[in-house]
A and B are shown apart, each in its own frame.
Chain A
Amino acid sequence: MRNRFRDRFRRFSAVVQKELTQLLRDRRGLALILTFPMIQLFLFAYAVKLTADHLPTAVANMSPDAQSQAFLSALSVSGFFDLKLYVETEAEVVRAIDEGRVRAGVIIPPDFAPSIERGDAQALVILDGSDSFSVQSGYSAATAVAQAYSLGLVVEKLNRTGSKMVTTPIQSSVRVLYNPTRDDLAFIMPGLVAMLLQVMAVNLTAQSVVREHEMGTIEQLLITPIRPIELVVGKLVPNILIALLDLLTITLAGVFWFGVPFKGDPWLFAWMALLFIVSGLGLGLLISTIAQTQNQAQQLTSMLMLLSQLLTGFIYPRGPMPPAVKAIGNLIPLTYFIRIARGIITKGVGITFLWSDVVALLVYGGLTMVLAAVTFRKRLD
């Protein structure tokens, strides 16, 4: 019995050694694996803006008077609108949006000032509906600015008629938990780290088995006493080190370069990340064993990546998703780890709040490895 275990371990460690040697020998590939996540982190972090402000806006002001100027200036000062194009007519504004030169337009009809006095002034704000992202901020910003401006006028009028100072009766202050400055990076960083980690982990192993099939080297491997599970786990282990290295670099960059606050326990995060890495590697291995060609493996990996970005709660919230779609999201390990990452980094909570996700990842890691070993083709046909 003990003899058997020793043999098993020997075979397993032989595979680990082989895989590690091959990994390190591909210098260029190694360089790519270690640098790409960092590159992606930086580009993502600088590219992603979650609050759309400074919408390029066109203005058709058909009543250039003090009132319209005041209103336009209120729009500009809010920071949401960047009044960069001045035209004559509404049609020109629409054309500018059509051509993509601006994303919004403000049209002030003639006789603005007198109609303000009368209390029946109108203004038109046009938004580019092909860009939902900007529309949402544009919409609420326009409404808010207009309302505040109007309110200001009413208050002014009241005060002019000599009544006492009127202030708003209810002051509401909005506090954003965990990220009070609403710093974009603090929002996105934990999810980004998690996502890049998964992409990388899956990538590391997704080709590994199917490549051996395609190259023919599987034949000499199959003729050895190596058992599928030993091969599968043996291929997984060396990649853990690489993935951990990547994790370390991008997390450190996130915290020290981008200044994202890390509220929770770093060791807990490290352990959880290790668990997640194993899940990702396992998923990659499963892809590798069920794909028949490297091409197929590549296709599956690309699809996984796209779905991971959109279905796991990385950007879009999972709440509103229909149950069928949520179920698909549940098949991706990132879904669980994003909650863990956000929980630890942004919220600073402990494992008691996260245990269900932890268990999910444990199951996921084990299951994928077992499935990979089971689907591993033990013969050439």
Chain B
Amino acid sequence: MLKRTWAIIQKEFIQTWRDRRTLSIQLAIPIMQLFILGYAIRMNVRHIPTAVADQSLDAASRDYVEAMVASGYFDVVAYVPSQADVIQAIDNGEAQAGIVIPPDFAARVMRNEAQVLLLVDGSDLFTSQTAYNSMSAIAQTHSTEVMIAQARRSGRLTAEQSLLPLDVRIRILYNPNLADLWFLLPGMVATILQTQSIALTAAAVVREREMGTIEQLLVTPIMPGELMLGKVAPNLVIAFVNMLTIIALGVFWFGVPFQGSFGLFCWLAFMYVFSGLGLGLLVSTISQNQKQAQQWTMLMMLLGLVLGGFIFPRYLMPPAIRIIGNLFPLTYFIPIARGIVTKGIGIESLWEQVVSLLAYIVVILFVAIRAFRQRLD
């Protein structure tokens, strides 16, 4: 049996090596993606273009706008006369946030009845989220400072008492500077590995079937398991090479720290790739032609991406969705990847995911082999 499997593995390697162009694409794409993503993704938006309608133009209103700008989150791009103008600036995309300060601001502040209207572009999620959060926070802080200053000036508070009684320190574990790439890299490794292994393998069997070359294979003593093992072999190697490349680039070029055990990561990644390959094989057995295979592959990739917890956290998803997410190996590997790379934990803390991943592989390979059609129809 080993001989037969080895024969298939050899054939597959030769075929893969022959198609050099495809091979170079397969090896180059993840690198390209890493570079692009490394430079592209900014989840925390700063310097949001802001339009200001300051109808008072006094010290108090200028202080207020200054507080917004000083935070670094907002850049004033236009001073306009009225609220309508601010809205129009947001409508046509010139600005994504707006501040409207009515007349007599300073006087009203003294009387404790000042009002400010803050506008946020609701069509762009990250910007609007950041803008909303930071505007609210900055407004609140500024208002508090003004109030305390007032209270101090009127003698109701002493200098010491002006300090807020509760100081909350916030410590961010593992990634204190919130570098986006540190967050994305493990997930990216997981995603790209899964993407490639599913795509490469799904096409494999279907293509043979379509081209008719499967006929010659079916008449040999080869068993489905051996055929599949043989077919996934080169893809396994390619996926692994890609993984190592991404990690190397991430660590040495982008400076992402690798906290945990590299060896452990490799072992678990090896297992993980198998799961993606198993999924790809399953797809190839239920597809009648390559077009269908591609549809399935795309679906799995898209869903894996969204439901696996790469970008959006799983704890926020409704239970039904979370269960669907459990159908993808990505879901188990992302916590593993993040755990080892970013958190630096060991297998003791990960055994739950590891066991799930193992179980997944066993199940998927079993199903795929079962489903493999031994005949031509």
Contact = CB atoms under 8 A, between A and B. Distances in A.
Q: Do chains A and B touch in the complex (CB under 8 A)?
A: yes
Interface in B115-134: 115-130, 132-134
A170 B116 contact: yes
Interface in A35-66: 36, 39-40, 43-44, 46-56
Contact of B335 (A100, A147, A329): A100
Given A154-B164, A302-B199, A320-B42, A147 B126 contact: no
B4 interface: no
A215 B317 contact: no
Nearest to A45: B321
B164 A151 contact: yes
Contacts of B39: 321-322, 324-325
Interface stretch (A6-14, A115-123, A229-237, A266-274): A115-123
A130 B196 CA distance: 24
Contacts of B142: 170
Interface string A148-183: 111101100110010100111111111111111010
Contacts of B191: 306
B299 interface: yes
Interface string A299-317: 1111101110111010111
A252 interface: no
B122 A169 contact: no
Interface stretch (A91-99, A275-283, A361-369): A91-99
B171 A150 contact: no
Contacts of A76: none
Interface in A80-136: 94, 97-100, 103, 116-136
Nearest to B16: A295
B109 A177 contact: no
Nearest to B344: A98
A307 B115 CA distance: 43
B54 to A, nearest CB: 14
B25 A296 contact: yes
Contact of A203 (B180, B298, B311, B343): B298
Contacts of A311: 36, 40
A153 B345 CA distance: 40
A286 interface: no
Interface stretch (B85-93, B214-222, B264-272): B85-93
Nearest to A216: B211
A46 B123 contact: no
A194 B5 CA distance: 45
Contacts of A225: none
Contacts of B261: none
Contact of A43 (B147, B183, B306): B306
Contacts of B321: 43, 46-47
A349 B91 contact: yes
Interface residues of B, number: 133
Nearest to B128: A176
B315 interface: yes
Interface string A339-353: 100110011010001
A203 B291 CA distance: 8
- The secondary-structure label for the interface of chain A is helix
A274 to B, nearest CB: 22
Contact of A50 (B129, B136, B161, B317): B129
Contacts of A188: 125
B122 A170 contact: no
B312 A174 contact: no
Contacts of B92: 349, 353
Interface stretch (B43-51, B223-231, B244-252, B364-372): B43-51
Given A126-B171, A203-B295, A174 B42 contact: no
Interface in A169-219: 169-180, 182, 186-188, 190, 199, 203, 206-207, 211, 214-215
A168 B148 CA distance: 9
A311 B115 CA distance: 38
A144 B137 contact: yes
A293 B117 contact: no
Interface string B167-199: 111111111101010110010000100011001
B123 A342 contact: yes
Contact of A56 (B96, B126, B292, B315): B315
A73 interface: no
Nearest to B125: A187
Given A47-B306, A169-B147, A215-B211, A319 B32 contact: no
A235 B130 CA distance: 44
Given A43-B306, A48-B306, A146 B166 contact: yes
B136 A129 contact: no
B159 to A, nearest CB: 12
A175 to B, nearest CB: 6
B218 to A, nearest CB: 20
Contact of A129 (B121, B313, B342): B342
B165 A119 contact: yes
Contacts of B143: 168-172
The residue among A49, A122, A306 with the most chain B CB atoms within 10 A of its own CB is A306
B175 A163 contact: no
Contact of B29 (A125, A153, A303): A303
Contacts of A177: 87, 90, 119-123
Contact of A125 (B126, B171, B196, B320): B171
A32 interface: yes
Given A46-B317, A120-B165, A136 B140 contact: no
B203 A98 contact: no
Nearest to A129: B175
Nearest to A311: B40
A295 B203 contact: yes
A153 B165 contact: yes
Contacts of A43: 303, 306-307, 321, 324
A328 interface: yes
A130 B302 contact: no
For the complex of A and B, 5 pairs with smallest distance between CB atoms: A129-B175, A179-B122, A172-B139, A146-B168, A150-B164
23 contacts: A26-B288, A26-B289, A26-B292, A28-B288, A32-B292, A71-B166, A98-B345, A98-B349, A118-B165, A126-B170, A135-B172, A172-B143, A174-B119, A177-B119, A178-B122, A182-B128, A295-B207, A298-B297, A299-B26, A305-B298, A306-B195, A310-B40, A353-B92
Given A214-B207, A349-B92, 11 more contacts: A32-B292, A98-B339, A123-B169, A125-B169, A168-B112, A176-B119, A302-B29, A303-B29, A306-B191, A319-B45, A343-B123
